[in-house]
């Protein structure tokens, strides 16, 4: 049996589930910290696990360029290399390559590009992306696709989606079935219902272990993202995980869980941790702001992270102003802890069928702003 998904409960369109992989289980809804180059930046893997994260994301694009997928394989695979014994999802590299704009050349068969690191030439095709993810030993492999940019006219969105569907079929053929390992397809079609339907049907015909919603969180805004989810998510099989790629802020995640999404990844909590932004139940704090310099309180007295257990806002403000490495470490840890606390809250609310109340109090707190 490849990777398996159990539906454990639901509350409206929201689902509580469990994914079983070769390297362990994932309670859903789940947030995946981004570990781009084989590290969740500024965090020890043990610390990532302590926040409650069960699965991390690795980027094929970065790892194929440095240190190289063959080298990671020769050293025992990405789990051993980065000392993350739990499940790993790798993306296909397509999204990063597409953002290389002038440095890449797209053709019907794949993408040729120059490494921004050393100018060397590389090529990604559906088959080579699957092979790289196998060498990395990813528990969940993502199909090689083109993330259609936004805004876009319908004919261009159709052309782009149909290319991704061809690539999805080729990736499925190239994927090596192994118990506990799975391949996810990615639905495209931008904000056009007919194209989203064509894409969902094409992927279901091919058959995948999970279905991602791609082509969102690309500038369309929360309202258009939610309205696209409203009609796209119901098109996806209920007995498989659904993954919304690149999302998002806490409010985006809450709204997407309400609409039936099970998995998320976003650089927001880690990147913001390095730019002095703290996420809290009362909204976001800019810890660089001078108003924190005498504040003896923790960022969030309910939070179990080291920053909130042992330090004041004044200390974090000082570390940031002094550009101390510990500032980025503590804020990253706090943000990842907060994201996992939100996911744990969502899972509990779905289990007890009190999601609407939970969301109402989440939104009330967020609107209150910091005291
Ligand atoms: C940060 N926003 C965002 N990150 C994404 C990654 C993706 N990968 C593959 N395919 C996608 O459509 C896709 C969309 C995305 N949006
Ligand atoms: Zn904290």
Q: Which residue has the CA at smallest separation from atom 9 of ligand 1?
A: 95
DSSP state of 143: P
pLDDT of residue 162 exceeding 80? yes
Question: pLDDT: is 299 or 102 the higher one?
Answer: 299
Q: How many Cα atoms within 13 Å fall on the side-chain side of residue 30?
A: 25
Cα–Cα distance list, 345 to 5, 48, 300, 304 (Å): 21, 18, 16, 14
Q: Which residue has the CA at smallest separation from atom 13 of ligand 1?
A: 214
Q: Which ligand is nearest to the CA of 313?
A: 2
Q: Which atom in ligand 1 lies closest to the alpha carbon of residue 186?
A: 10
Q: Phi, psi at residue 242, to the nearest 5°?
A: -120, 130
pLDDT at 101: 80
Instruction: Tell me which residues have their CB within 5 A of the ion that is ligand 2.
Output: 303, 305, 307-308, 334
Average pLDDT over residues 113-141: 96
Biggest CA-to-CA distance, the chain: 60
Q: How many Cα atoms within 13 Å fall on the side-chain side of residue 69?
A: 22
Average pLDDT over residues 256-279: 98
pLDDT of residue 63 exceeding 80? yes
Q: Report d(CA 131, CA 68) in Å as an integer.
A: 12
Helix (H/G/I), strand (E/B), else coil: 210: strand
Contact 29, 261 (CB under 8 A): yes
pLDDT of residue 371 exceeding 80? no
Q: Residue 141 Cα, ligand 1 centroid: separation in angstroms?
A: 14
Q: Report d(CA 126, CA 29) in Å as an integer.
A: 28
Q: Which atom in ligand 1 lies closest to the alpha carbon of residue 147?
A: 12
DSSP state of 103: G
Tell me whether residue 118 is one of the annotated catalytic residues: no
pLDDT at 140: 98
Structure-block tokens of residue 224: 């258009």
**pTM of whole model > 0.95?**
yes
Structure-block tokens of residue 141: 């492999």
Contact 370, 285 (CB under 8 A): yes
Q: What is the pLDDT of residues 169-199, one digit of tens each?
A: 999 999 999 999 999 999 999 999 999 999 9
Average pLDDT over residues 96-117: 91
Structure-block tokens of residue 30: 């789940």
Structure-block tokens of residue 246: 């690149």
Residues touching ligand 1 (Cβ under 6 Å) are: 91, 94-95, 145, 147, 186, 214-218, 245-246
Average pLDDT, the chain: 97
Structure-block tokens of residue 261: 């999404």
Q: Residue 242 Cα, ligand 2 centroid: separation in angstroms?
A: 29
Structure-block tokens of residue 175: 């994927």
Q: Which of 11, 265, 300, 341 is catalytic?
A: 265
Tell me whether residue 265 is one of the annotated catalytic residues: yes
Q: Which ligand is nearest to the CA of 306?
A: 2
Q: What is the pLDDT of residues 79-105, one digit of tens each?
A: 999 999 999 999 999 999 988 888 899
Q: Which ligand is nearest to the CA of 95?
A: 1
């Amino acid at each position: 049996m490849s990777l398996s998904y159990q539906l454990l409960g639901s509350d409206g369109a929201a689902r509580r589930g469990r994914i079983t992989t070769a390297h362990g289980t994932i309670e859903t809804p789940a947030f995946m910290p981004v570990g781009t180059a084989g590290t969740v930046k500024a965090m020890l893997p043990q610390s990532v696990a302590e926040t409650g994260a069960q699965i991390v994301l690795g980027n094929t694009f970065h790892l194929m360029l440095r240190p190289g997928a063959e080298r990671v394989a020769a050293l025992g695979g990405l789990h051993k290399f980065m000392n993350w014994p739990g499940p790993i999802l790798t993306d296909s590299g397509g999204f990063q390559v597409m953002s290389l704009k002038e440095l890449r050349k797209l053709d019907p068969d794949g993408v040729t590009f120059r490494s921004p690191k050393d100018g060397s030439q590389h090529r990604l095709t559906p088959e080579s992306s699957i092979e790289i993810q196998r060498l990395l030993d990813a528990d969940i492999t993502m199909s090689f696709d083109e993330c259609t940019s936004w805004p876009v006219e319908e004919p261009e969105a159709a052309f782009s989606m149909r290319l991704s569907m061809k690539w999805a079929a080729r990736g499925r053929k190239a994927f090596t079935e192994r118990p506990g390992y799975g391949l996810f397809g990615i639905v495209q079609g931008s904000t056009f219902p007919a194209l989203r339907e064509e894409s969902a049907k094409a992927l279901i015909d091919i058959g995948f272990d999970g279905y991602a919603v791609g082509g969102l969180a690309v500038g369309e805004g929360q309202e258009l993202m939610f309205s696209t989810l409203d009609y796209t998510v119901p098109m996806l099989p209920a007995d498989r995980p659904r993954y919304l790629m690149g999302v998002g802020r806490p409010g985006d995640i809450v709204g997407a869980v309400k609409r039936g999404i099970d998995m998320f990844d976003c650089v927001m909590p880690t990147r913001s941790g390095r730019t002095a932004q703290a996420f809290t139940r009362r909204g976001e704090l800019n810890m660089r702001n001078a108003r924190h310099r005498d504040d003896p309180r923790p960022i969030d007295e309910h939070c179990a992270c080291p920053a909130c257990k042992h330090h004041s806002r004044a200390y974090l403000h000082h570390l940031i102003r002094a550009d101390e490495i510990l500032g980025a470490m503590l804020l990253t840890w706090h943000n990842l802890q907060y994201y996992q606390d939100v996911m744990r809250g969502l899972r509990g609310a779905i289990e007890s069928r009190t999601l609407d109340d939970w969301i109402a109090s989440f939104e009330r707190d967020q609107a209150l702003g910091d005291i």
